[in-house]
Structure 1
Amino acid sequence: MPLDPPAPYATVTLLITLSTALVRADRETDLGSFRLPYDAEAQRALDRTVLACLLRGAEPPASLPELFAWCRERPLSDWPLDALPDAVGQEDRLLDPEHGRPTELCHEWATRSRDSATEARDRQVIRAALRACTEAGEEDAYTAFRRLLIERPVLTATDAFAVTSDLVLEPVKGILSTIYQEVPESYARDGFYATCGRCLTLLVPVRGGQWWCERDRCRRDGPPPIGRELPISEVGDLRQLERPLRQFVTGPGRAEVELERRLRALSLKVQMWPNFDSYDLRITFADGHVWAIDVKDWAHPYFLARAARPVPAAPPYDEAFWVVPRHRVEDRPGYLAVFARNRPGSAASLVLLTDDALVRRAHARVKEHHA
């Protein structure tokens, strides 16, 4: 008797399991060095992939290294899986084809799916910081905390001392001590570490004397420019934010502060993370009209749509928008349409714009007011 084809949820479960295994393996070991016995999550990913292949009469990967090779070399659209047209693009891979590290899409599958059994680490940290700052009645502490994670994802020993000495950050010092983690020397080459001149995160040395940046946008824009060179002999105990926070706080935060800069250039009043982060930017025009903006720097619109919800009503505003960086829309044709198709009915009125479109709309409103 032929086996029934896998249900769509089985594909979702498989991709979550596989992405989780890849992220964990990348954090704990070299993806190319797996040996028996495999990590439980990795073995589960292999088992589910083999089952999916057998159900479709396809040749499965014979080992975990072969499965990881699939993740690097084969777009997901070429896998023997049920079609998920909005969740998987034609060229989507779970591992970067050039250097074999988890893609941002892989991180989103591992942590952003509502099917995940555990709360995303970045949300846990942000909620803990919000709770600590709210209990202390220190909104400035939360704002400083967010800016620190955005603007200083890497701390030398001297940087860390300055942070621990900052009285504004007092309510979150316990959190900071856990989320900045020691950097292994595998990040160094020729006696020094290097940060990306665009996104400020640590670069990873790869073959051929090159450096690899974990951010999709940086790779899209070409070889990463070196920002800070940090000699091992001088930096002391070098620390960096843990990966979930770099992925989902530092990355989007760069887009938030860049949007802040562009809107201030229009002589608009901008408040960042008002009311303990009800939303990201509160924009006040000269006539008192207020916009509320949440910036969402997500690689895949399918996950963004599944997370869509109305912008919180307080502090009050006249119009509200979700904003995505322009490069995300350029990288994935149909981004806005996929978002519109997959958002829940409760967010049907939510407007999603690119950052460029929002700035143009703001500029037009400023001109209209001065006309």
Structure 2
Amino acid sequence: MTLDHADTVPLPPEEWAAHDGVPLLRTLAGALIMLEATTDLDSFSLPYPPEAQRALDRTVLAYLLSEEAPPAGLTELADRCRTLPLAEWPLSLPPDAIGPEDRLLDEESGRPTELCHEWAWRTPDAAMEFRDRQIVRAALRMCREYGDEEAYTAFRGLLVHRPVLTWSEMYEAVEDNVLEPVRDLIRQIYRPVPDSYLQDGLYTCCDRCLTLLVPTQDRDWWCERDRCRRQGPAPAGRRILRETAGEVFQLERPLRQFVTGPGRAEADLERELSALGLDVRMWPGYDAYDLLVTFPDGHRWAIDVKDWAHPVFLGRSSRPVPHQPPYDEAFWSVPTHRVLAWPGYIAAFERARPARARELPLLSDTDLVARARSRLRTLREETDRA
């Protein structure tokens, strides 16, 4: 049974939470993430954990109400999450809720997809404070109390460029004088890496996104980042021998998802804009926004980079870009692969924007660089005419 899209008028964001398919997907996504952290998603035994049992019960009910055969147990439910696109589930969902090929578990690895993490963490829940925002706010508070913007910039750089640390690297980070205001926070957010990441006694990092790769049954690699998988087979980069490195740590998943991932996109965008000859400053004003770009005529752009799979979740989170440090134009930017993967991504984002962000433009990084190149060309032409 396919989704019920009889009502093609987009629902207001505040009505999503009450829509009958939304709570089920949120419950199911949360259960899958919990199960991945505590057990093997390919094998379960009774009694199931309460959150998993609740997800199974609600899914079975949805199937029975649609007069379709429900999953017989948690193993079959996980198999459907991996093999069956959500568009083929008996769910009544609002328009723009999912894309045609969206799944909660990756087909190849069986691990929660980035979209699964967004459903678990970004759907409406007034009692929930997003973990990544909680950590970033804490870092900002600590660095402001020290009056040290450099410490915050270094902290963000650590999360973006070093999501994996050996024991000795962790020691160096917490003893770094520049990072002194946030050293206790660093200890909290880097977690020991489980053995499931090991292959032949080695931990292996992705050469593109720097996160740890997951070994597959055919002795290949799987990367948790959608962007990397769409670029082709995961390239093995840094290798860490557990026997000599001792304990290895990685950033907790919410920070890898919503800080490291976008941070890599920010670094890519900084590199492309700098290559055009523009002056680019990262995370200005204690991370008021991500990039401050200054053109030769003094015109300034403020850019916030968002690497989200779901355009509606992104749209609902949108807000005006802070006005300090000052700028002339402001944009949100999303990696091009997100726009290509979800037909109508920009339009879905725009429909979901709250009134406060109605004028906020969202551009793909490709379009943003093209706009910068066009503006530079116009400036040169004006200079030549003068």
Question: Given the superposition, is the C-alpha separation of residues 117 and 75 from structure 1 closer, same or farther in structure 2, using an over 3 Å criterion?
Answer: farther
Q: How does 1:24-43 map to 2 (within 5 A)?
A: 24-43=34-53
Question: Given the superposition, is the C-alpha separation of residues 259 and 328 from structure 1 closer, same or farther in structure 2, using an over 3 Å criterion?
Answer: same
The residue that corresponds to 2:91 in the other structure is: 81
Paired residue secondary structure (1:90): coil
From 61, 75, 85, the counterpart of 1:51: 61
Q: How does 1:132-281 map to 2 (within 5 A)?
A: 132-281=142-291
**2:280 is matched by which residue type in structure 1?**
V
Normalised by the length of structure 1, the TM-score is: 0.95
The residue that corresponds to 1:301 in the other structure is: 311
Q: Deviations over 1:40-77 (max 9, x none)?
A: 11111111112222222222212111111111111111
CA–CA distance in 2 between the matches of 1:83 and 1:142? 40
CA–CA distance in 2 between the matches of 1:261 and 1:164? 28
The residue that corresponds to 1:288 in the other structure is: 298
**2:96 is matched by which residue type in structure 1?**
D
CA–CA distance in 2 between the matches of 1:105 and 1:328? 11
**1:117 is matched by which residue type in structure 2?**
A
Report deviation, 1:358.
0.8
CA–CA distance in 1 between the matches of 2:202 and 2:78? 30
Report deviation, 1:183.
1.1
Unaligned stretches of 5+ residues in structure 1: 1-6
The answer to whether structure 1 residue 105 and structure 2 residue 121 are counterparts is no
Contact 2:201–2:241 (Cα < 8 Å) also in 1: yes
Report deviation, 1:191.
1.4
From 68, 91, 101, the counterpart of 1:91: 101
The residue that corresponds to 1:4 in the other structure is: none
Question: Given the superposition, is the C-alpha separation of residues 29 and 116 from structure 1 closer, same or farther in structure 2, using an over 3 Å criterion?
Answer: farther
Q: Deviations over 1:336-359 (max 9, x none)?
A: 111122212221111110111111
CA–CA distance in 1 between the matches of 2:324 and 2:38? 42
CA–CA distance in 1 between the matches of 2:93 and 2:24? 13
From 364, 372, 377, the counterpart of 1:367: 377
CA–CA distance in 2 between the matches of 1:230 and 1:328? 31
Unaligned stretches of 5+ residues in structure 2: 1-16, 382-386
**2:338 is matched by which residue type in structure 1?**
R
CA–CA distance in 2 between the matches of 1:150 and 1:233? 26
Report deviation, 1:207.
0.3
Identity of aligned residues (%): 61
Contact 2:19–2:94 (Cα < 8 Å) also in 1: no
CA–CA distance in 2 between the matches of 1:90 and 1:186? 31
Contact 2:174–2:184 (Cα < 8 Å) also in 1: no
The residue that corresponds to 2:345 in the other structure is: 335
CA–CA distance in 2 between the matches of 1:91 and 1:258? 27
From 324, 337, 348, the counterpart of 1:314: 324
The residue that corresponds to 1:3 in the other structure is: none
CA–CA distance in 1 between the matches of 2:261 and 2:300? 26
The residue that corresponds to 2:140 in the other structure is: 130
CA–CA distance in 2 between the matches of 1:209 and 1:237? 23
Q: Deviations over 1:242-298 (max 9, x none)?
A: 111111110010000111111111222212111111111111112111111000000
Contact 2:20–2:93 (Cα < 8 Å) also in 1: no
Question: Given the superposition, is the C-alpha separation of residues 15 and 354 from structure 1 closer, same or farther in structure 2, using an over 3 Å criterion?
Answer: same
Report deviation, 1:157.
2.0
Report the RMSD for the aligned CA atoms in angstroms.
1.4
CA–CA distance in 1 between the matches of 2:18 and 2:62? 11
CA–CA distance in 2 between the matches of 1:117 and 1:82? 24
Contact 1:305–1:344 (Cα < 8 Å) also in 2: yes
CA–CA distance in 2 between the matches of 1:201 and 1:342? 31
Contact 1:13–1:115 (Cα < 8 Å) also in 2: no
Report deviation, 1:333.
1.6
Number of residues of Structure 1 aligned to a counterpart in Structure 2? 365
